[in-house]
Structure 1
Amino acid sequence: MEKLQKLGRMPVGLIIPAIAILFVIFGVPIVQLFLISVNAPSFSLVNYQAFFRQQENVFVLFQTIKMSVVATAICVIIGYPTAYLIVIASKPVRTGLIVFVFIPWLTSGLVRTYAWTVILGDHGLINNLLLDLRLISDPLPLLYNRLAVYIGMVHIMLPIMILPLLSVMQGIDQSLLAAARSMGARPFAAFWRVFLPLSLPGVRSGTLLVFVVSLGFFITPQALGGLRDAMLSNFIAVQVASSLNLAPIAAAAFILLAIAVFMLSLFGMDIYGTQDHRGRTVRKSWRSQLSSLGALPRYLNEIAIPYRARHWAAQLYQAGSGSSWSKIAGAVFVLLVMIYLLFPELIVIIMSFSAGPFLEFPPSGFSLQWYRSLFGDPSWIRAFWDSFQIGVTVTILSTIAGTLAAAGLARTSPRPRTFLMMVILTPITFPAIVVGVAAYLGLVNLGLIGTKTGIVLAHSIGSIAYVVVIVAATLANFDQRLEHAAKSMRAGPVRTFMRVTLPLIRPGIIGGAVFAFIASFDEMVVTSLVSGFSIRTLPLKMFENINQQIDPTIAAVGSLLTLMPVLWLVALYVTWWRSRLRLQDAPVNSVA
């Protein structure tokens, strides 16, 4: 008993609950899944060979990679200038734009996918508008094709690209750009030579996140695409639902996982910046090899230096005449991106008040009939109640385990901390379908398939990761000398944590709890694999209705789910504001 108490006081002991859940639900099953894929104990590659022998499997695999690459490239092209324009905006505008990026990111991905079925459908917004303007005589086939899938994927992934870019760009010292300008560099040259290289870590992080998540896309290709637009996740899900043979499923899952791990090891494991160093070395050798070709431009550049110096001196203290057009173009670009991110959710809210018998935009009249239908249908109420119960339970479990793990990691030495953090973040860095298959196998071992307990455990492995990330970020700014001071006053570890640490990191804990609830409440891929046929959460109920019938009741559900992120952001802001007031009042009280 004393050994257990000592272990609980050690930093590693705080991490044990989170690691135990991850180990049982994901760690052991993923190893077991790999052994199944290689036909252990005989160990052969027969299942992988069988996968690649079938031409349709290879086609789906390359199509998955291609669609993920294209969606990632579009997100980079749109996300980078958007993040840059947000960063250089004034503080009030920047804060508002960041909130506008957060709202769609926190909104249910299923609701956003459903919104595009409304916009791109035969009787959707675009076709109705073109028909009313008599530009077309028949509806355009905008839905159930590759273009619709790309539109939906980019809409869901764009905030995930923008947010890491914003995090990096806001940390760049703007005085470096001013120094470059003071040395005669033009605005574009200062951006290209100074700002862009410093922002590349954000580009790498955003690109990696978008690509890995895109590999596991399941809902969007099935809801917006045609039969030839399926991705490997759809292939795996169909096999799980229709076959008891786990060997081909395990092989397909590990092929997808191998691609994700390769990308993570290639771009995501470089913590100390060695990759950037190699990148600079490569560019340097590339320039040295082409030095002869660059001699003439450098010579002409030296001739132009005196003219550029006079031009810079003359305009140093004058406003640029062309800057107004660039500002207008930037404002229009950001406005279009915000419309692209927010307008689909607004469409769902408007259509939820439609008085017509089917989905149409603009609505033929105003009515609350679909809200009455929602609250009067026991199946919708039961689905909502099941999701809420599961979400609350996951939130409590994940917040406790994740907070303890974050506290333990903060007190662990760097090398084991890095390894343990990578292990805990595995469920949110691997494709969702792979996590779902592993969780399915783990719950089969425990006999919990089709139970709420099983769904809670399956959701918790991802929710714990979100709590750990957010609480760890809060603890990074926590002064541990406060804990040492409390212990020097003979306060025990529990009392120190409850009276000193907890009040200061409470905003991070609440933020982690909010994200844990959102992740659980919106989860569908893992739930579809482990819920069996007995439990239908709200996302599963919505997805089934979208596939089987376009019931306007879904618009009412979607509008309520769209308003949830606003409530979460308000709650987080109130928590942050109260903690800030508490910290401001603390010095006054101590002096008094």
Structure 2
Amino acid sequence: MRNISELGRSPLVLTLPAFSIMLVVFGVPMILLLLSSMNAPVFSFSNYEAFFSRPANIKVLIQTIEISLVSTVLCLLLGYPTAYLITSASKQLCAMLITFVMISYLTSFLARTYAWILILGDRGLINNALIELGLISAPLQLIYNRAAVYVGIVHMMLPIMVLPLISVMMGIDKSLLAAARSMGARPGAAFWRVFVPLSLPGVRSGCVLVFVLCLGFYVTPAALGGLGDAMLSTFIAAQVKASLNLGPTAASSFILLAIALVVIFLIGVDLSGSPKALSKPQRVGRGGGMSASVLPRWSFREMTVPYRRRRWLAERYKASGRDNRLKYFGMFFLIGVMFFLLFPGFVVIATSFSPGKFLEFPPSSLSLQWYASFFGNPSWYDAMMTSIEIGLVVAALSTLAGTLAAYGISRFGSGMRSALTMAVLTPITFPVIVVGIGIYLGLVKLGLIGTKTGIMLAHSIGAIGYVVVIVSATLANFDRRLEDAAKSMRANPLQTFVRVTLPLIRPGIVGGAVFAFLHSFDEVVITSLIGGLSIRTLPLKMWENMRHQLDPTIAAVASLLMLLPILWIILLYAMWWRSRPSALGVASERSR
């Protein structure tokens, strides 16, 4: 009996619910998918050879890599200065700007894609404005081309680039830049030689996430791009719907997955350098002397030391007009990025109140006809209720399993903790179309295709990862001595968790549940594969209407989806505010 009790307290047991779901729904099916791609039990590479023997397939593959790479570079060029300017702002302004980025991140992908259709379409905002101003006589072709795809993808992925950069940059000691300036370094030199190397972990994380997620993009390229802008994910989805032979589809999926894994392993190496490396800017040759390639540069710098010393003393207290220009440029740049992230949502919300049969911005008057059309149409209403039902079940299941897993993982050593965390995050770091194909194969074996249960299990795979990340971040600041104190007062493990641990990590649990619900509520690709023709969620119905008929009712749906993350952020802020008194009380008790 004692052994059973000790087993129940084991961290490994706490992770079993989460890993059991992932193993059955995702892990084993991915292995079966790999075997299918090699025609098991015959084991041949004929499916891979067939893929690479078709020039059209190679063209689509290269095009997928190109779009993903260019989108990642664009996100980095916009995201790095944005993150730097946000972390350099005052505390209140920084919090507000991070909230804006989070709102954009949490907003439905479909709603944001629809926003760009309204802006770039033939009868969209830009063309209408140019025609009204008399600058053009016919609409410009701003949509269904590669440029529109880049605009849409960068809008979707920019928050994913900015958030890891902000996380890393906020941990960089800004006094290091001041120290470099005090040693005579110019602002630009101090930034490039001190700040940039320390921020490389954020650059690495952001680039890997954006590139891998772009590889599996399906909705945005299909909605904004032309026939020549198709990505491999579209090709794979068409294969699933057109053929029952999973061999070629599995091969295409693993080719895409192989590219993602190569990028993860290559860029996953620590490129930020170590303190020792940063402290040795010069190479040392044999005998401790400096190498010949470094000697001329070193000699020149030594010769200019007196001049640079006099220049630094002369300009130390001089006001710099260049600094002011950079400050104003940074302010306008940041305003432009926030406008790019938030304005499409404002366009959708405003146009949803259009009174006519066609959407217009700004609306000539206000009308609720499209909202009435949404709530009065049984197909839209039923789809919304289906999404809410699935989202609530997914949030409950993933929150329970994810919280237990995070609590158990936090009790392992650093090496095991990292390995288990990466295993949990696998479904949300792989291309979504590959994850969808693997889950599809697993649920086919279980007979759950075309059922709500199948969709709930499929959504829970990714939702558990979000819960684990958020709850683990909360547990990182949790003081284990509080649990030890409760146990010293003869509280059993369950009482300790319910009375001590749970109240302190409740904001993280609620945050994880919110992310899990939003993840499920906005899912399209996996839902379209698992739901078949029998289950219609709100995003899936919205996506079908966007492809076949641009019903103005979609504007009302998209505006509701855009308001949803704002409501959730308000809820999270309220939960955090309520938890402050208890946290302050615990801190005051510990200080006595």
- TM (norm. structure 2) is 0.96
Count of matched residue positions in the alignment of Structure 1 and Structure 2: 588
CA displacement at 1:294 relative to structure 2:
5.6
CA displacement at 1:513 relative to structure 2:
0.6
Cα distance in 1, alignment partners of residues 350 and 91 from structure 2: 31
CA displacement at 1:299 relative to structure 2:
3.8
- Would the aligned equivalents of 1:51 and 1:57 in 2 still touch at CA under 8 Å? yes
Cα distance in 2, alignment partners of residues 286 and 263 from structure 1: 30
CA displacement at 1:90 relative to structure 2:
1.5
- Would the aligned equivalents of 1:108 and 1:561 in 2 still touch at CA under 8 Å? yes
AA aligned to 2:452 is: K
Distance change >3 Å, CA 23–CA 191, structure 1 → 2: same
Aligned to 1:535: 535
Distance change >3 Å, CA 54–CA 280, structure 1 → 2: farther
1:443 correspondence with 2:443: yes
Q: Deviations over 1:257-297 (max 9, x none)?
A: 111111111122x4xx477359959x979998996566555
RMSD of the TM alignment (CA)?
Answer: 2.2
Equivalent runs, 1:412-431 vs 2, <5 Å: 412-431=412-431
CA displacement at 1:572 relative to structure 2:
1.0
Cα distance in 1, alignment partners of residues 215 and 283 from structure 2: 33
Distance change >3 Å, CA 361–CA 210, structure 1 → 2: same
Q: Deviations over 1:296-335 (max 9, x none)?
A: 5544433332222122222323332322211111111111
Bigger Cα displacement from structure 2, 572-581 vs 534-543: 572-581
- Would the aligned equivalents of 2:200 and 2:271 in 1 still touch at CA under 8 Å? no
Distance change >3 Å, CA 591–CA 309, structure 1 → 2: closer
CA displacement at 1:2 relative to structure 2:
7.2
Partner SS state of residue 306, structure 2: helix
AA aligned to 1:401 is: A
Aligned to 2:263: 263
- Would the aligned equivalents of 2:198 and 2:272 in 1 still touch at CA under 8 Å? no
AA aligned to 2:574 is: V
Distance change >3 Å, CA 588–CA 86, structure 1 → 2: closer
CA displacement at 1:486 relative to structure 2:
1.1
Distance change >3 Å, CA 473–CA 63, structure 1 → 2: same
Equivalent runs, 1:316-335 vs 2, <5 Å: 316-335=316-335
Aligned to 1:394: 394
Gaps of 5+ in 1: none
Equivalent runs, 1:91-490 vs 2, <5 Å: 91-268=91-268, 270=269, 273=270, 276=273, 295-490=295-490
CA displacement at 1:416 relative to structure 2:
2.4
Cα distance in 1, alignment partners of residues 562 and 408 from structure 2: 36
CA displacement at 1:4 relative to structure 2:
5.5
CA displacement at 1:423 relative to structure 2:
1.1
Cα distance in 2, alignment partners of residues 501 and 90 from structure 1: 33
CA displacement at 1:565 relative to structure 2:
1.1
Bigger Cα displacement from structure 2, 294-303 vs 381-390: 294-303
- TM (norm. structure 1) is 0.96
Cα distance in 2, alignment partners of residues 259 and 285 from structure 1: 36
- Would the aligned equivalents of 1:406 and 1:468 in 2 still touch at CA under 8 Å? yes
AA aligned to 2:153 is: M
Cα distance in 1, alignment partners of residues 389 and 382 from structure 2: 10
AA aligned to 2:410 is: A
Cα distance in 2, alignment partners of residues 296 and 502 from structure 1: 63
Gaps of 5+ in 2: none
Distance change >3 Å, CA 210–CA 274, structure 1 → 2: closer
Aligned to 1:508: 508
Aligned to 1:567: 567
Distance change >3 Å, CA 411–CA 327, structure 1 → 2: same
Bigger Cα displacement from structure 2, 412-421 vs 200-209: 412-421
- Would the aligned equivalents of 2:201 and 2:271 in 1 still touch at CA under 8 Å? no
User: Identity over aligned residues, as a percent?
Assistant: 60
CA displacement at 1:131 relative to structure 2:
1.1
Bigger Cα displacement from structure 2, 362-371 vs 292-301: 292-301
Bigger Cα displacement from structure 2, 486-495 vs 61-70: 486-495
Q: Deviations over 1:342-398 (max 9, x none)?
A: 000100000000012112323233211101111111111101100000000000000
Cα distance in 1, alignment partners of residues 157 and 71 from structure 2: 8
Partner SS state of residue 474, structure 2: helix
Cα distance in 2, alignment partners of residues 68 and 551 from structure 1: 30
Cα distance in 2, alignment partners of residues 165 and 591 from structure 1: 34
